Structure 1
Amino acid sequence: MNARTRWSLVYAAVAVLLTVTACTVRAEPAPDPPRTVAATSSGFTLDGDPWWPSGMDAYQLATNWSINRGCGAQVDLDAYFGSLPPNALTRFDLFAALAVNKFTGAVDFRPADAVFAAAARHHQLVLPVLVGGDGACESGEFKQRDWYVDGWKTESAFGGMTYQQWLTTAVTRWRGSPALAGWEPVGEPEPGVCGRSCAFPDRTCPSDAGAVLRGFFDTAGGAVRALDPNRLVFSGLAGGGQCGSAGDDYELVGRSPGVSVLDYHDYGADGVPLPGDQWNGLGRRITQARAVGKPIVVNEIGQNAGSCGTVDDRATDVRRKVTGQRAAGTAGALFWAFVPDPRNDQCTFDIGPGDPLFGLAGDMLSQG
């Protein structure tokens, strides 16, 4: 056999091998495209259809004790997302502290990546909170006025990053997720000033708190929108008269071009649809949201159960509350807070697997 014949046989064998391989290797399915969540002055659409988002606050989803320092109990992500009604919304903590490997100190995205991947597998939606105003599950330090002025751009924190760097890192990494509904830059921002301690009675509220918070959202919220222009930015405001968003300041902050959606957090008024007073109550906040042309969601609704009440009674109260809020003009509701290990022998906000509030979330979603 001459050299030319030998090489011809080799080329033919390679061609057959490549053909067989191409026929036997299965192509990976294309990832789902990002969902399209849009806001109007009165509500939301999901992929062009009316959507009244309901679901859970599940702050601890990115906890992985084998990797990070955690925040609450570790959750079986597939079990959790698989238990939700279709197109539910879950709000969770996406803090820089949870993206640091506790053994090496290096940035480690695996726990957070797992949350987005599990939500996408189950065709659910998530709302990540990038930092908490009170410092819980991070440094434990309350974020004061100066942090909202420029500390978020200069103070190094977990992973050696400033908050500005973490915001850029997080939005850039996960903006293509098909599970992403929007971003919440800060959970319950409140630019107060600490006194002897940072406990509420020892804090003061500077006269420029509203302007400071507005400036923060103009810049930080604007940065989110520049990086991910097709996503909504939620204000994260508690809405009950806190420093920086009390009274008319709530509307001042809500008018920021860096804010797409206004928030309200509802505790301590079991079964009452519109809690609060004429200055800082939910009724006033709905009116202010209409004035700025943006939807308002009650992204934390908490009522105790366990040793102090049954979960069925709680669900009845929350149903009355949410039904009344929706009729008054709110655009969504989330329940505080899912945990995989509810303390049924204590009086807590814990919502465990199989809680009737999952059914309420499904009812709200089914109404479109």
Structure 2
Amino acid sequence: MQRTTHRTYYFFALAMILLVGVGSTQWAQAGSAEAAGPNRVEATADGLELDGSPWWPSGFNAYQLATDWSVNQGCGAMVDLDSYFSSLEPNSLTRFNAFQRLAVNKFTGELDFGPMDAVFAAAEAHDQMLVPVFTGGDGACEDVLFKGRSWYTSGWKTLVPAGAPLRFDQWVTTAVNRWKSSPALAGWELVGEPETSLCGDSACSWQNRTCPSDSGQILRNFFDQAGAKVRAADPSTPIWAGLLGGGQCGSAGGDYQLLGASPHVDVLEYHDYGADGVPLPGDVWNGLATHIVQAQAVGKPLVVAEIGQNAGSCGTREDRVDDFETKIDGQRAAGTAGALFWAFVPDPREQQCTFDIGPDDPAFDLVAELNTVGP
């Protein structure tokens, strides 16, 4: 879930920018390969596998990794990629924004893959794994327009978003072809937190949205069709569903299982907020326990891909980590297949009450304990 505070950032670390540029050049050559690389990650009914061994991944959402203020419009603060990835245990998992807008040069308006190439290059250099997310349902860090029903029926393959040169379907094909050979690739995610609400006004304000009875089928059709485009370019890398899982339009109740049954959905998701220290939040219709059962019914693993809890002025980081640990112990026992925390930022607002997880946060130690490869 995009929770970015738009602020102005000033950076004077020229050495870091040059380092990113070198990594970008090296990866641009490798990333242009036509053939997909080795299928390192497999999604099974029993969970995820990495290089043929059981893998229970943990790590962070780090949405702003591709921010480079010398190239793109950015999304949050710039990150020292080598510092971030080297602070994680090998084979940890990071989910990040691979939005088209972050691959557009703000000076020329043309595609510029340098910042995203640098993310893949740094992850590979430090034996890390990535799930790139192609767009967000709320439009944050792009055109700031909510993606409603019409976008999922046709807009994704007919509209060119403001500030970008490609339609969404074209961006998906372009991105998959560019990075499918990366050994850091753990999965593709089409949309973060999709909702197929019918907009009642030009701003699609939530108060005026409705949810027709066929909304689940609309979203299923999108997953089937857009997922087929991913499969055409990369037949084997798992596709993640990006679902929030809290009863949103298109994935509420039984629609969650309908989406999970798509042949082009391999990993289901749940995003966990507002239930600090509670392992299985939610109700009997849209709670995590229900979604675990639904995932098992369609033979797909479920990863709790966002777990957020406030800290800073409203609580200590240590107490937050204790709550994280309590929560994940229960979730893992119930059958979840991984856990990612929201969200790593290089500049945590320690005097405010936020989800920020900074470079020295004790959550890094918890990730090291949780992330396991092997029996």
Tell which deviates more after alignment, 232-241 or 200-209. 200-209
Match of 2:18 in 1: none
Q: Could you tell me which residue of structure 1 aligns to residue 189 of structure 2? A: 184
Contact 2:135 2:190 in 1 (8 A): yes
1:91-144 Cα offsets, whole Å, 9 max, x none, are: 000000001000111110000000000000001000000011100000000001
- The TM-score, its normalising length taken from structure 2, stands at 0.88
Which one has the bigger helix percentage? 1
Paired residue secondary structure (1:138): coil
After superposition, where does 1:14-29 map in structure 2 within 5 Å?
none
1:200 deviates by 2.4
Q: CA deviation at 1:203?
A: 1.4
Of 166, 171, 194 in structure 2, the residue corresponding to residue 166 of structure 1 is 171
Aligned to 2:294: 288
In the alignment, residue 121 of structure 1 is paired with which amino acid?
A
CA distance in 2 between counterparts of 1:367 and 1:269 reads: 28
Cα distance in 2 for partners of 1:367, 1:165 equals: 35
Q: Percent identity?
A: 64
Gaps of 5+ in 1: 1-27
Tell me if the contact between 1:34 and 1:180 (Cα under 8 Å) persists in the aligned partners: no
Return the alpha-carbon distance in structure 2 between the equivalents of residues 117 and 72 of structure 1: 20
2:137 corresponds to 1:120: no
Question: How big is the shift at 1:201?
Answer: 2.4
Aligned to 1:149: 153
What's the offset of the Cα at 1:205?
A: 1.1
Matched residue, 1:258: 264
Q: Which runs of 5+ in 2 are unaligned?
A: 1-25, 32-36
Q: What do the CA deviations read for 1:206-225 (whole angstroms, capped 9, x no partner)? A: 22110000000011012112
SS of structure 2 residue aligned to 1:152: helix
Question: Map of 1:298-309 to 2, 5 A cutoff?
Answer: 298-309=304-315
Provide the residue aligned with 1:322 in structure 2.
Answer: 328
Which moved further from structure 2: 287-296 or 42-51? 42-51
Q: How many residues align?
A: 340
Q: Which has the larger radius of gyration?
A: 1
Shift of 1:160: 1.8
For residue 321 of structure 2, give the secondary structure of its aligned residue in structure 1. Answer: helix
Structure 1 equivalent of residue 362 of structure 2: 356
Please point out which of 56, 62, 68 is paired with 1:64: 68
2:3 alignment partner in structure 1: none
Alpha-carbon shift at residue 202 of structure 1 (Å):
2.4
Cα separation, 2, equivalents of 1:199 and 1:306: 31
User: Partners in 1 of 2:98 and 2:159 — Cα distance?
Assistant: 18
Deviations 1:8-51 (A, max 9, x none): xxxxxxxxxxxxxxxxxxxx9x9896461011102011001110
153-162 vs 224-233, greater mean Cα deviation? 153-162
Equivalent residue number for residue 99 of structure 1? 103
Q: How far off is 1:71 after superposition?
A: 0.2
1:109 aligns with 2:100: no
The whole-number CA distance in structure 2 between the counterparts of 1:340 and 1:240 is 29
Code of the residue aligned with 2:168 in structure 1: it is Y
Cα distance change of structure 1 residues 254 and 366 upon mapping to structure 2, 3 Å threshold: closer
Q: What residue number does 1:269 align with?
A: 275
Runs in 1 of length 4+ with deviation above 4 angstroms? 30-35
Look up the equivalent residue of 1:217 and give its one-letter code: F
SS, match of residue 160 in structure 1: coil
CA distance in 1, matches of 2:212, 2:95: 30
| TM-score normalised by L of structure 1 | 0.90
Please tell me whether the aligned partners of residues 149 and 199 of structure 2 are also in contact (alpha carbons under 8 angstroms): no
